[in-house]
Amino acid sequence: MNEQHGASWATAIQATLHCLTGCAIGEVLGMVLGTAFGLHNAATVVLSIALAFVFGYGLTMRGVLKSGMNLQAAFKVALAADTVSIAVMELIDNTVVVAIPGAMDAGLASILFWLALALSLAVAFVVTVPVNKWMIGRGLGHAKVHAHHHHH
């Protein structure tokens, strides 16, 4: 494998932070809403994942739309760029939160809930960076977004 064609760690970290921002917003909002509405843990996790995808795609689309792309094309770029990244991040993120005893049931006023959420996002970030690096190095994932960012 020729590493010269690969993505830099900085690029991978930037792409992952971008994804993490959307995921974190959706994740926290989902956990807050799920807890506030007294939803079951499974429903809360599903809501969090759905919102993570919405905000993750939304942030990518915002950047791509600025380059003058239409909504449908921007959505396709976001789908190509972020689906794997968000999926990996959410899988890890929710697995960690659910695995920490009592974290899901701790409630929004609990330090355990917020520490578990912060830890889960940190673990998800660390796992997702190499995934993004590998994908960008092959012209996949966030490489699709960067192809449209040169218009600025």
Dist CA 122 CA 118 (whole Å): 6
pTM listed for this prediction: 0.84
Structure tokens, 31: 């956990």
Sign of CA dihedral 48, 53, 56, 61: negative
Please check whether residue 128 is in contact with residue 16, taking contact to mean a CB–CB distance below 8 angstroms.
yes
The answer to whether 89 touches 19, Cβ cutoff 8 Å, is yes
Per-residue pLDDT reduced to its tens digit, 10-59? 989 988 998 899 989 999 999 889 988 999 989 999 999 999 999 999 99
Q: Percentage of the chain with pLDDT > 90?
A: 54
Average pLDDT, whole number, for the chain? Answer: 87
> For residue 45, which phi and psi values (nearest 5 degrees)?
-65, -45
Q: Extract the tokens encoding 64.
A: 């791509």
Q: What is the pLDDT of residue 2?
A: 40
How confident is residue 133, by pLDDT bands cut at 50, 70 and 90?
Answer: very high
